[in-house]
Structure 1
Amino acid sequence: MYLVTFRLDPGEYDAEFHELNDSIQAVAEETDGYRGKRTWNDPASDEVLVVYYWETLDALDAFGADADHKRAKQRWTEWYDAYEVTITDVIETYGSGFGDSADPPK
């Protein structure tokens, strides 16, 4: 499994951002190998972390090839003050579990 952590400092969102964001999320959900996402917000700094769960790098690559996703990446300065993407290969997970909120999301 792979985790893609999208860390962002939000700027101003317009209608086009929301349309593109919804389209990109729909593409992710339709991609074989997409397992879900979790989002955290830091109210003190407004920083946002979104963690996406992928079964394989091939699935992630297929998602990254989407035209809307590529367009959004080119236009990030219009909507974010800063961003960072980290891709992590999960070697192991363990713990007591979180029931219905266990990772990866269902």
Structure 2
Amino acid sequence: MYLVTFRLDPGEYDAEFHELNDAIQAAAEDTDGYLGKRTWNAPDRDEVLVVYYWESLDALDSFGDDADHKRAKQRWTEWYDAYEVTVTEVLDAYGSGFGDDADPPQ
């Protein structure tokens, strides 16, 4: 499994951002190997973390080819003050579990 952590400092969102963001999420969900996502908001600042769960690098690469996703990446300065993406391979995961909140989200 692979995790893609998208850390962002949001700027100003407009209607086009929301439309594109919805299209990108739909494309992710339609990609074979997409397992889900979780979002966290920092309580003391505007920073947001979104963690996407992928079955394989091939699945992630397939999503990366989406035209809306490519267009959004080119226009990030219009909507974010800063961003960072980290791709991580999960070698092991263990613990007591979180029931309905287990990762990856179902």
- Report the TM-score, using the length of structure 1 for normalisation: 0.99
Match of 1:11 in 2: 11
Match of 2:31 in 1: 31
Q: For 1:36-51, what aligned pairs fall within 5 Å after superposition?
A: 36-51=36-51
Post-superposition CA distance 1:74-96 (Å, at most 9, x none): 00000000000000000000000
- Runs (4+) of structure 1 exceeding 4 A deviation are none
- Helix, strand or coil for the counterpart of 2:104? coil
Deviation at 1:45, TM superposition (A): 1.1
- Helix, strand or coil for the counterpart of 1:13? coil
- Report the TM-score, using the length of structure 2 for normalisation: 0.99
Match of 1:84 in 2: 84
Deviation at 1:43, TM superposition (A): 2.7
Alignment RMSD: 0.4
* Mapped partners of 1:49, 1:59: distance in 2: 21
Post-superposition CA distance 1:42-78 (Å, at most 9, x none): 1311100000000000000000000000000000000
Q: Which runs of 5+ in 1 are unaligned?
A: none
- Helix, strand or coil for the counterpart of 2:45? coil
- Helix, strand or coil for the counterpart of 1:39? strand
Identity %: 84
Match of 1:104 in 2: 104
* Mapped partners of 1:76, 1:7: distance in 2: 13
Q: Which runs of 5+ in 2 are unaligned?
A: none
